[in-house]
Amino acid sequence: MAETRGEVRTWEVVFSAAALAAFAVFALRWGAEGLVHNRKVQIVPDLKGKPVSAALDLLAPVNLALRKEGEEFNNAVPIGAILRQNPPPGTKVREGKILRVVVSQGGETVFAPVVTGLPLRNAESLLRQSQLLLGEVSEAYSLKYEKGTVMTQDPKSEASVERNSMVNVVVSGGAPPAGVVLMPDFLRKDLAAAEGWATQNNFSVTVVKDFGALFPYGVILAQEPAPDAALSADQKVKLTISGRTKTAAGTPTKTIRYEVSQGSSDSLVRIVVVDQYGEREVFNGMRPPGSKIDLPVPDTGAGARMKVFLNGILVEEKDL
């Protein structure tokens, strides 16, 4: 009898443990499903044809993730751009969903990298890495760029071009000799600085005011001729400035933050802001791995974007 009772108790313990385990599994699943269903529903954006960095910028605001499942050669899609995605565009998913993509290994077309602002040797190396060739190299005087630095490139950066195409560049020859006057870069500088230069060099200046600008009064938004253009003796200079009243409250600002990725050597970091007034460089310099960059910039309203280039390669692009 005692043995029978012992066996019954053993079965009771086993049954109770199994029941508790089943209940725990059920509760865990129920809780997990509840957390998932509490997440917002998002529409999957179309990532096809976009570089991975641009795709990440599209997914970040809707809290979706990205996972690369593979790579394929494709002549029609530039290297590094997304060929296929799953789920497809327009699908409704919950936040936290991981989108799986196949990335192009390139073919006949590639993206032209940014070589402006790089020393010529670095620019040529970057072009080779991007399956492009250095084409014609010409030289021009410059107040903005140091001697030996690439001033302009053709085709322009991020343009889709055939593999092994030539990229022509203009390299800075340094400051001009006596008798050659170049147009300084007055963008985002105060009008007083430009007027002082014009008076000193006997140039007449036409000033146009933009009363809808968000910059403080007198900040130069656009200029003609462009920076580093050679000027004739009778050259007319046109400047567009912010017409914001001097008594208005201080201009709202935003802070740009970027952390340099870890590595074994310093990197050339270039940060560009693109807004309704055009594109302007707000930072350009060497920074050690892991260093942080904080830059206050005027808030110029909706549509402004920040681009970060690391050693001439676009690594981040997002709305401000």
Q: Is the peptide bond before 289 cis (omega within 30 degrees of 0)?
A: no
Q: Return the pLDDT at 34.
A: 53
The yes or no reply on domain 253-319 and CATH 2.60.40.2560 is yes
Distance, in Å, from the CA atom of 70 to the CA atom of 79, rounded to the nearest integer, reads: 13
Cα separation of 246 and 93, whole Å? 49
| Contact in structure between 217 and 250 (CB atoms under 8 Å) | no
DSSP for 141-210 reads --SSS-TTBEEEEESPTT-EEETT-EEEEEEE--SPPTT--B----TTSBHHHHHHHHHHTT-EEEEEEE
Q: What predicted TM-score, i.e. pTM, was given to this entire model? A: 0.52
Say what the pLDDT of residue 17 is. 63
Whole-number pLDDT of residue 252: 66
Identify the pLDDT of residue 75.
73
What is the three-class DSSP state of 16? helix
Q: How far is CA 80 from the centre of its chain?
A: 15
The DSSP 8-state label assigned to residue 304 in this structure reads -
Q: pLDDT tens digit string along 267-300?
A: 888 888 888 777 777 787 788 888 888 877 777 6
Whether 309 contacts 296, CB under 8 Å: no
For domain 112-172, the question of CATH label 3.30.10.20 is answered with yes
What was the pLDDT predicted at 77?
80
Question: What is residue 126's three-state secondary structure?
Answer: helix
Note down pLDDT in tens along the chain; length 320 residues: 545 555 556 656 556 666 566 656 555 665 555 554 567 888 898 999 888 888 888 898 889 999 989 888 887 787 788 999 999 998 999 998 999 999 987 767 778 888 998 899 999 999 998 889 999 999 999 998 989 999 999 998 878 888 889 999 999 999 999 889 999 999 888 899 999 999 989 999 999 998 877 778 888 888 999 999 999 988 999 999 988 775 445 556 778 888 887 776 778 888 888 887 777 777 877 888 888 888 777 776 677 888 888 877 777 888 87
Cis ω before 87 (30° cut-off from 0)? yes
* Cα 39 from chain centroid (whole Å): 29
Range 270-273 contact pairs with CB under 8 angstroms and sequence separation of 24 or more: 270/114, 270/117, 270/308, 270/309, 270/312, 271/295, 271/306, 271/307, 271/308, 271/309, 272/306, 272/307, 272/308, 272/309, 273/297, 273/304, 273/305, 273/306, 273/307, 273/320
26-to-19, 22, 34, 118, 185 alpha-carbon distances in Å: 11, 6, 12, 60, 68
* pLDDT, position 87: 92
Ramachandran area for residue 76 (φ above 0: left; ψ -120 to 50: alpha; else beta): alpha
Assigned token pair, 194: 């430009």
pLDDT attached to residue 150: 94
Tell me how far apart the terminal alpha carbons of the chain are, to the nearest angstrom. 80
Q: Note whether 205 and 225 are within 8 A (CB).
A: no
User: CATH number of the domain at 191-242, please?
Assistant: 3.30.10
| Domain made up of 41-104: CATH architecture | 2-Layer Sandwich (3.30)
Burial class (CB in 10 A: 0-12, 13-18, 19+), 38: exposed
